Amino acid sequence: MRSRIMQVLIVVSLIFSVQVFSADKVNAATSTDIGAFASKFYGTPYKFGGTTPKGFDCSGYIRYVYNKFNISLPRTSAEQYKVGKTVAKDKLQPGDLVFFANTYKKGISHTGIYLGNGEFISAKSKGILKANLKTDPYWGPKYAGAKRLSNVTVAMENGKNTNN
């Protein structure tokens, strides 16, 4: 009788542990998922105040992309800059938010999603485009900082970041 109870308890605990692991796996936003989804909008037109695929401004685009992964962000780039953990430029990981100052007004005025290898994607005046933090003569000098959101995990494969 005691052995039978133990068997039932083991089976029940295995069932629940598999379900919990699966739910976590489904709800996790990985940097690869975010980068792939963000890249789907490459070439979408820019629209000041835009928050949909018909036209985005920078913060509307970031908010739209992260909302797909149930991550809620404020509406403006200046407000988004107040969210998350500050990250040094040499520690950037795909999925981090990158911020720029003094683009069309003083202070934080532009944001993008870091993709890896110095590259980020954002809604610019010519639409959703990629640029390089290290080599772009416009964006490089305007870089103001980066933030990491705790609910974004960097895709890992065999203990190595797959995005760098």
CB atoms within 10 A of CB 158: 5
Determine what percent of the chain is predicted with pLDDT higher than 70.
75
Alpha helices in 28-155 (DSSP H): 31-39, 58-67, 77-80, 139-142
Query: What does CATH list as the number for 29-161?
Result: 3.90.1720.10
pLDDT at residue 7, as a whole number: 57
Query: How large is the average pLDDT for residues 145-156?
Result: 76
Question: What is the average pLDDT value for the chain, to the nearest integer?
Answer: 83
CA distance 59 to 62: 5
Look at 121-125, 140-144, 151-155 and tell me which has the smallest mean pLDDT.
151-155
Q: For the chain, what is the radius of gyration of the CA atoms?
A: 20
Q: Quickly tell me which residue has 């202070």 as its tokens.
A: 107
Q: Pick the residue with more confidence: 45 or 158?
A: 45
pLDDT at residue 72, as a whole number: 92
**Burial of 110 from C-beta contacts in 10 A (0-12 / 13-18 / 19+):** buried
> Which residue type, as a one-letter code, is found at position 78?
A
pLDDT at residue 29, as a whole number: 80
* CB distance 32 to 20 below 8 Å: no
What's the pLDDT tens digit per position in 58-69?
999 999 999 999
Query: How large is the average pLDDT for residues 11-33?
Result: 49
Q: Is 157's pLDDT higher than 70? A: no
